[in-house]
Structure formats: C-alpha cells, structure tokens
Structure 1
Amino acid sequence: MKPTRRFWAGVGVVCFLAGGAWILKTPLLLIGAGGIGAILLSSQFVFLLSVLEIKDSLEISQRPVQSQVSEQSDVDVVIHGSLPKPTTVEIQIEAQPPKIATGIRSSDLTATVAIDESETQTTATFHCPIATRLQFRMPTVTLTDRAGFFQSSFEHGSTATVTVTPNRVESAEIGADGQHQLSSLGEHKHGERGTGLEPAEVRQYVPGDTAQRIDWKVTARLSTPHVRDFEAEAELQTYLFMDHRQSMFAGSAETTKYDFAREVALQYITHARTASESLGLTVITDDQVVDFPPKATPNHFIRLQNYLYDQTSADTKGTHSNAQFPIEQLTAANSKSQQLQSRSSLFAKQLFPLLNTKGTRIQRVKEDPLYQAVRSQLKSKTGIVQAVLVTDDSNRVEVYETVKLARQWSDSVTLFLIPSVLFEEGSIAEVEDAYQRYLDFGQLQQSLSQLDGVSVFEVGPKERLENIPAESQQSSEQQVLQ
C-alpha cells in the first residue's frame, strides 16, 4: 500500500492548520487539523481491510482465444475479473504481455471494476512478428480507495501461453553468381543425383565430392579420379545444427538473433513433419551439446518444437570468441606462405613463420563447439544426408571451415547465416563502420556460396537490412555539411 499525491496534500493541510493554530493561538484550527487527520487514518484502515478482502475473493482469468496461431496473425487474449459482491474501491486489472508483442493499445490491456460494481472484461489484441512461445505473466491488480488517498498493487490471477508458429518462409539465397533466388525452406528435389541405391552415371571427380563416392575401378582404369552417382532413392536424413551460444542472444529486448534462428529451425521441423522425413537436431551451447537423433515420428517433432520454444536465454558462464577475419585475408596469407616455403633464401625462411597461419587456424577451428558437433554427428553417416547449419558471423573463420567439413560428410549443406551488424545499435558516427561490416559479411556469404553443394541464406530483420544503406548515405551527407 502506498499513499497518493492526494494523501500528501491532505497531510500538508493538516500541518498547515496545526501550524496556524499554534501561531494564531486559535484552537478551532487545531480541531480542523485533527478532523482531517482522523479521516486520513480511518481511510487507511478501511482501505487495508478492503485490500485483504479483495485478495481473497477476486477471481481473474486470462484466456487466449486460440492457444496456437501463425505469425503475423491477430492474437486475442480475454481478461475477466469478478467479485462475489460490489466493490467499495476501484480495481484495475492490467495484463502483462511479453515485450515482443506489438500493436497493443494500452487501453485494451486494462479492465476496470468501478466502485459499486462486481465484474469486468476486456479483450487485448496484438501481433507477434516472429515464431515464439508467448508467456503472459499474472495480471497486475491496482486498488484505489474511494477518496483517492491510497493505492495498492499486486499480481493476481492466472498465467497464459500462446504458441506462435512460423508461416511458410521464403528467403533470399545468394548463389555463386551473386543473384538472388527464392527457395522455400526445408524443400529438396526428388530424383537428384547423389548417394543412393540405383547407379546413374560415372563422372570425373570434382572438389567437394566425398571419398566414399569414388569408383576405384574406374579411377584405376582411366588414371584419374572418378565418382559414381546414384539415383537418390535412399531415405533422406536432415541434420539440423542450431547455434545457441551467447552471441546468438544479441539484439533488442524484443528480438534477438536466436528468435530468427529458431524460426528457421521450426520451419524445417514443420516441413519434415509434413513430409514424414527423418530430422535430427543438435543444439550447441557454450558448455554442452544437446543432441536429438534423427526420427520421423510425430512425438519426436513435438519434442523438438517444445525444446526450441523453451530456450529463451543462453548460459552466460561460457565464453565466445569474436574473431572476424576476412576469408580472403587468410587465403592470401596462406598462398604467400606456400610460395615462400618453396624458396631457399634466408629472407623467405625468416618470413615464412609470420605468414603461415594455417596450423594456428586449424587448431583453433577444431576447438570450436560448432565444428566439433558437425564432425561428431556427420562422420561416417550413410544414405542421403543433408546438413543444415543456423548460426551467426561472430566466428567467421570457424563458420567457413565448419561448412567445408559438413560438405565433406554430407550430400548438401544449407547455411543460414545471421549478420551481427543488423542487431547492433550505434550512433551516427558508427553507421559508416556498420555499413562496411555489412559489406564484409556479403563477401563472406559470397565465398561460402561458391563452395560446391553449399547454399547460403541471410537471416535477419528486413527493416534493418533496408535501413543500413540509407543510414550510411545520411551519415555521409552530414559529414560533408560539417
């Protein structure tokens, strides 16, 4: 219970009258001060009894019209409050929706039981831009006495949960030619050449083909490596690798990288469930790896969905590297080191250790949890294996090497990459740097998409992606004016 400004105004009047009675030697003013003070004290006592009674008798329900909706659909939550008899105080019942909910009018969130009434109801309507599980806390009840001297607030009633499922998502794929192509997530073409049961044709080996597909008899006869393709009739198994480390929870209070990553993963789960295809999920945290082996049962898909919905934060105990070396820079350094290694001059021998980053890079990459999880799950798998990775660009070198490793042990790799720069907010002076970092991200994306059998998708808030070039141009104009 807390006093309001009206109460303190009454206290001020009491002090004024009491002071006037003492200065003017007028007992009548003292009587007035005592009367007002008695009213304040009695109001406080009566209000306290009302609060205790209402806490025991007030019934509040918070009920979603639908427990599951698709994203961008209206979500309606009905809030109802009732008392066994009319109230002597004003009661305001305010819903507590999650921060990610949008399009809410404050008036819709509050249901009011007026004095001498016993029931109220309101319906709050809002939107959710991404797939998630919305948790509504218990409503906040605020009581105000009839004179407006005191207020008391407490949580009361029931909680509510609404599951927002993803729509059929389409994303922009950056191909080897740099053009945008639209492709529905989770879909694959049947009848493609790959590893299967029925032989199709023999062709020359190209970088990216796995060793298991080499036809050694043809290779020995033609003196050059050849592989044998098969009709893809074996069961497709999709291995979904989900990054759940600390960097994935960067963003605003409403949305983080993980929210977008989860939406992609849920889309794959929905597709696999519809097509009755085996899907496995591996979640990589800072401290552990949680693995769900591939299955195609309804209970398995429900279990995967529930697990992803329940993950709302990362374990902050772990550490996360933030190395963002351009792939081109490392490639150039390795190329120069190889040239120096073939030379016998004293200068070349002294410079070679400085440019030779390959050993250090490989050692660091092998210790990366995502790299280790991919190697552990995909090694020696048989049948048609599709690897799907969902991560951000915080560790660009590790991402590049992990994708190459995944391609060695699978028939195809799909990478959903989240640019960190889209989830950072900075001053106008930092806009140019953000735009340059986004261009660097595009180079990384292009390098990955040029790998054979690898598809790369960019995932992030569309409005932020559209605003970065405009903000960069505005920053440049301001610098010119200065």
Structure 2
Amino acid sequence: MRPTRRFWVLAALAVVAGAWAVTIGRPALLVGVCGVCAWLLAQQYRFLVALRGTAASLEVSQRCSTARTVTDAATYFTVTARAESAGSLALTVDADPPVAADGSVEPLRLEPGGAEARGTFEFSWPVAGTFGFGAPTVTARDRLGLFEQRLRPSAERPTVTVEARRPQTVHVGEGGDPITAGFGDHESGQAGRGLEPAEVRKYVAGDAVRRIDWKATARLNETHVREFTSQTDRETHLFVDHRAGTADGSPGESNLDYARHVALAFVDHAEESSERVGCQTVGDEGLTGVFEPRADMEHLRQIRRHLNAVTPTGAAESEAVGDRNAGRVRAPQTPTAPERVRATSQRLAGDGSAFASRLGPFFDRPDAYVRAISDRPLFRAVDAEPPRMAGVQWTVIVTDDERRTELRETVKRASDRGPVLVFLTPTALFEPGGLDDIDAAYDAYLDFEEFRRDLSTLSGVTAFEVGPADRLSTVLANAPDRRAVRQQ
C-alpha cells in the first residue's frame, strides 16, 4: 500500500493544525485534529479490506488475434479485466506490449462498482522475430484517492511470431519452366520429377523434353530421360546469401525475399518430415548465423526466426548504387573462366609480339583466382563445412548471380560431398526499371540462363532460377521475335 500525495497533504495539514492548537491552547481544535487522523486510519483500513477482496477476485486476460503474422500486418490485442469484489476501489490496468510492436495501449479503467472492462488495440510489426507481451500491471485506488496499490495478477503472456512477408508470385524452375514438384518435398523410393537424380531410362511418349539426359542420349545413341527421386535418410545444409546485392527489388519483393521463400520451404518440409537441417547465413563480412544440423522442432523454429530476421548486409550502399543505375539493366560481371585463362596463357606463350610480352604476366598464374576467392564469404562457408560420414548430405545454396566465379567454385567444392541444389535469383528480374527496356532485360536473362545451365552441367549439381513469376513471364512473352529459353 502506498499513500498518495493527497493523503500526505491531509496528514500535513492535520499535523500543522495540531501544533497550532497546542500553541494557542485550543483543546477543541486538537480534538478535531485527532478526529481527522482517526478518519484517515479508518480509510486506510477500509482500503486494505477492499484490496484483499479485489486481489482474490481479480482476473486479467490477454489475447492476440493471431500467434503468427507477417511484417507490417495488423494484429489485434485484447485485454479484459474482471473483479467481482472491486467494491469501492477504482482499478487501472496497464498492459506491457513489446518494444518492437508499432502501436499503443490505452490504460483500461474499471470504475468502483464495475464488474468488467475490456479494450482492443491494433498493432503492426515492422520487423520479423518472436515477441512476447509482458505481464499487466493493475493499480488499485480508493474513491477519495488517498491510497493506491499495484498488483501483478497472473495472466497469460501471449507471444507473436512475425515472419518476413513472402512474395506472392514465386517462380522456381529452369529456363522459364516451373518445376512440377514442390521444392523441398520428397518421398522415399518414389521416382518422378523430384530434385535428386536417380536413374536414366529410355524415353517414352509423353515424357517432357526438358527431362532428356543429352549426355546419356549421345553416349547410348538412343533418347534417354533421367528420373529423379529423394531419400528420407538425408541431411540438408542450407547456405543463404544475404549480401548487399540481395537488396535489389521493391519491399516485400526483393531478391532476398525470394531467396528467403525458398530457404523457408526447406525448413517447413523438414519440420514435417523430421529431417536433419543445418543453416548458415552469409553476409558481406562473413557468417551471420550458424545452425548445426538437427531435427528437433525448437532448432527448426530458431532457423525460421533467424531467416525471417536477416536483412541485406550493406543495404544502404546497395540502395545508393541502385538509385544511380535506375532505369538501366545492369550487365552481370562474368569473370573469366579458368579454362579460358589457361588457353589464353598458352597462346600468349607462343606469341613473340610486344603486346603478348606485356600481357603475358597477367595470365602466367591461371590458378591465382582460386586462391583469391578462397576468402570470399560464401566459398569460405561451404569450404569449412565438414563432410558427413554416412547417409546423404545435400547442400542447398540460395544466392544471386552477381558473383559467378565465386559461386561456380563454391558449387564445385560442395559437389565433392554430395548432391548440390542451387537456387539463383536472376539480377535481370530485380533491376529498378529493368523491364522498361524489354530487349535488354531479355538479353540479360539469356545471359543468366546460360550461366545457370552451365552450373547444371557440373556433376551432381542442379541449378534452378527463383524470381517473380509475373516479371519472368513478361520478359519471355514480350520477345516474340526470339525463341524463349527452355531447359533441354
């Protein structure tokens, strides 16, 4: 119990009046002062009795309209207070919303004699994560405002899991064709359009042309297609790139949003199938999150929360570059392949011209680029992952196509340990104003598709494109004089 300022003012006046009565020798005034003091004690006693009854009957409940939502979506929070024996006390209920919640909660007031009060408040969530509401605080006051007491009633403390908003039109496929099976899904022992190659068989009428295995067809001199299957006894290692370039695109439809959508699909499937999943996120300065492969639910929830919370590292610099390049399709920087470096070095070695002599030193170390990329964040993360001793180890890399040499060498290193799935977001589909020049966008997409197919020719590697389905269809549909790219 805490006396209020009003109580102390009355008590001070009584003390002053008592001292004055003694000074001037007025016993009647002193009796009046004693009466005031007795009245204050009586009010204190009445407050304590009412408070005891209120604390025994007080019920406060807190409810959220949903336990899971997405960023910037509205969530409704309801507080209800009931006190059957509140009597002469006025109650004020103060809720404790998370700091990350965008909104406010007004105090809930239960006037003397009232039995119930309720309030509903709207919140939005600008950032992803899991946030919990605190315990409410109830302040009880008597009718005259002389005493007050704070109570901490037992009440549910709801939590809200906020996920990053996922894109609405997601394309995952090859050469403009969507894959027919859900990525991340698999059934043990069943062949079909999965993601892991299983066996080669002869072509039969009705098989999709894109499933033809051209290497086997050339070797066997007869058309063959490749079946795909998946195994339940596997361990998936997710590598999600969220460096500065993944900030391209509009809010909720950025490069990273589509990459996140794919990564979360694998986590969702692992939750249903009890698969072991590990995850590493890579920023411009290196690893930003490491989760060792496990299959328990809390582990998967931690991965999901982390993926929902990641943002492009160095995003401010990326936005500045994007503003300067607005309206133009950025041509991907395609580093020189090592085979071409070696071939050029050999040609220069047999050329005695002054030009060859000057240019030769730049090509006399054709493997130097491998050493140069060994410190790149994505390559370093994949290279450091230890191989699994038993079972199937899948590596899933989700990134963009800006750093092609690093990605190619990363994929080659990962394929030494087992099957590799690469999900690439084409830069051409995320450029600000990139579809203003449809021919340039189409050319950029063709360049990307050539790179994606080149990755898929590596042993044990399958590469898919990930991006906005509406933009991709626009790029392909508005080039009638060109033959649309299709997976062969």
Distance 2:187 2:311 in 1: 34
The residue number in structure 2 matching 1:292 is: 291
The residue number in structure 2 matching 1:174 is: 174
Identity rate, percent: 27
Distance 2:462 2:253 in 1: 25
The residue matched to 2:245 in structure 1 has which SS? helix
- In the alignment, structure 1 residue 242 sits paired with structure 2 residue 250: no
- In the alignment, structure 1 residue 283 sits paired with structure 2 residue 290: no
Distance 1:349 1:396 in 2: 27
The residue number in structure 2 matching 1:253 is: 251
Residues 429-473 of structure 1: CA distance to partner in whole angstroms, max 9, x if unpaired?
654433322221111111111112111121112122223346678
Task: Identify, as 1 or 2, the structure richer in helix.
Answer: 1
The residue number in structure 1 matching 2:424 is: 417
The residue number in structure 2 matching 1:453 is: 460
Question: Which structure would you say has the larger Rg?
Answer: 2
Query: Which amino acid letter does the alignment assign opposite residue 387 of structure 1?
Result: T
Q: Would the aligned equivalents of 1:340 and 1:352 in 2 still touch at CA under 8 Å?
A: no
Q: CA deviation at 1:372?
A: 0.5
Q: Which runs of 5+ in 2 are unaligned?
A: 1-60, 81-99, 104-116, 132-156, 192-229, 322-329, 482-488
Distance 2:400 2:62 in 1: 37
Query: Which amino acid letter does the alignment assign opposite residue 380 of structure 2?
Result: Q
Distance 2:130 2:477 in 1: 33
The residue number in structure 1 matching 2:300 is: 301
The residue number in structure 2 matching 1:38 is: none
The residue matched to 1:184 in structure 2 has which SS? coil
Q: Would the aligned equivalents of 2:169 and 2:469 in 1 still touch at CA under 8 Å?
A: no
The 3 A distance-change label for structure 1 pair 467 and 373 is: same
The 3 A distance-change label for structure 1 pair 81 and 184 is: closer
- In the alignment, structure 1 residue 464 sits paired with structure 2 residue 464: no
Q: Would the aligned equivalents of 2:173 and 2:466 in 1 still touch at CA under 8 Å?
A: no
Distance 2:372 2:386 in 1: 20
Distance 2:243 2:451 in 1: 21
Distance 1:168 1:295 in 2: 30
Distance 2:64 2:393 in 1: 41
Q: Which runs of 5+ in 1 are unaligned?
A: 1-60, 83-96, 100-108, 110-118, 136-157, 194-231, 475-482
> TM-score normalized by structure 1?
0.53
The 3 A distance-change label for structure 1 pair 79 and 67 is: closer
Distance 2:249 2:437 in 1: 17
- In the alignment, structure 1 residue 386 sits paired with structure 2 residue 394: yes
The residue number in structure 2 matching 1:143 is: none
Q: CA deviation at 1:300?
A: 0.9
Distance 1:169 1:64 in 2: 29
The residue matched to 1:458 in structure 2 has which SS? strand
The residue matched to 2:251 in structure 1 has which SS? coil
The residue matched to 1:183 in structure 2 has which SS? coil
Q: Would the aligned equivalents of 2:170 and 2:467 in 1 still touch at CA under 8 Å?
A: no
Distance 2:362 2:246 in 1: 33
Q: CA deviation at 1:304?
A: 1.0
The residue matched to 1:385 in structure 2 has which SS? strand
Residues 389-440 of structure 1: CA distance to partner in whole angstroms, max 9, x if unpaired?
0111121111111111111122x00011111222221277654433322221
Residues 88-144 of structure 1: CA distance to partner in whole angstroms, max 9, x if unpaired?
xxxxxxxxx999xxxxxxxxx9xxxxxxxxx99999999xxxx97699xxxxxxxxx
The 3 A distance-change label for structure 1 pair 261 and 398 is: same
- In the alignment, structure 1 residue 368 sits paired with structure 2 residue 376: yes
Aligned length: 326
The residue matched to 1:294 in structure 2 has which SS? strand
The residue number in structure 1 matching 2:67 is: 67
- In the alignment, structure 1 residue 336 sits paired with structure 2 residue 343: yes
Q: CA deviation at 1:243?
A: 0.8
- In the alignment, structure 1 residue 377 sits paired with structure 2 residue 390: no
The residue number in structure 2 matching 1:444 is: 451
| Equivalent in 322, 332, 346 of residue 352 of structure 2 | 346
Q: Would the aligned equivalents of 2:286 and 2:378 in 1 still touch at CA under 8 Å?
A: no
Q: How does 1:130-279 map to 2 (within 5 A)?
A: 161=160, 163=162, 172-174=172-174, 181-188=179-186, 190=188, 235-279=233-277
Distance 2:434 2:232 in 1: 54
Q: CA deviation at 1:337?
A: 2.4
The residue matched to 2:237 in structure 1 has which SS? strand
Query: Which amino acid letter does the alignment assign opposite residue 236 of structure 2?
Result: T
The residue matched to 1:460 in structure 2 has which SS? strand
The residue matched to 1:263 in structure 2 has which SS? helix
The Cα RMSD (Å) is 5.4
The 3 A distance-change label for structure 1 pair 468 and 174 is: closer
The 3 A distance-change label for structure 1 pair 161 and 298 is: closer
The residue number in structure 2 matching 1:26 is: none
Q: How does 1:6-25 map to 2 (within 5 A)?
A: none
Q: Would the aligned equivalents of 1:334 and 1:355 in 2 still touch at CA under 8 Å?
A: yes
Distance 1:252 1:134 in 2: 24
Query: Which amino acid letter does the alignment assign opposite residue 466 of structure 1?
Result: S
Q: Would the aligned equivalents of 1:172 and 1:183 in 2 still touch at CA under 8 Å?
A: no
Question: Comparing 298-307 with 244-253, which one deviates more in the overlay?
Answer: 244-253
The 3 A distance-change label for structure 1 pair 79 and 190 is: closer
Distance 2:245 2:187 in 1: 34
The 3 A distance-change label for structure 1 pair 80 and 238 is: closer
The 3 A distance-change label for structure 1 pair 439 and 98 is: farther
Distance 1:236 1:427 in 2: 40
Q: Would the aligned equivalents of 2:332 and 2:402 in 1 still touch at CA under 8 Å?
A: yes
The residue matched to 2:180 in structure 1 has which SS? strand
Residues 359-382 of structure 1: CA distance to partner in whole angstroms, max 9, x if unpaired?
342133212110000000145755
Q: CA deviation at 1:288?
A: 3.4
The residue matched to 1:248 in structure 2 has which SS? helix
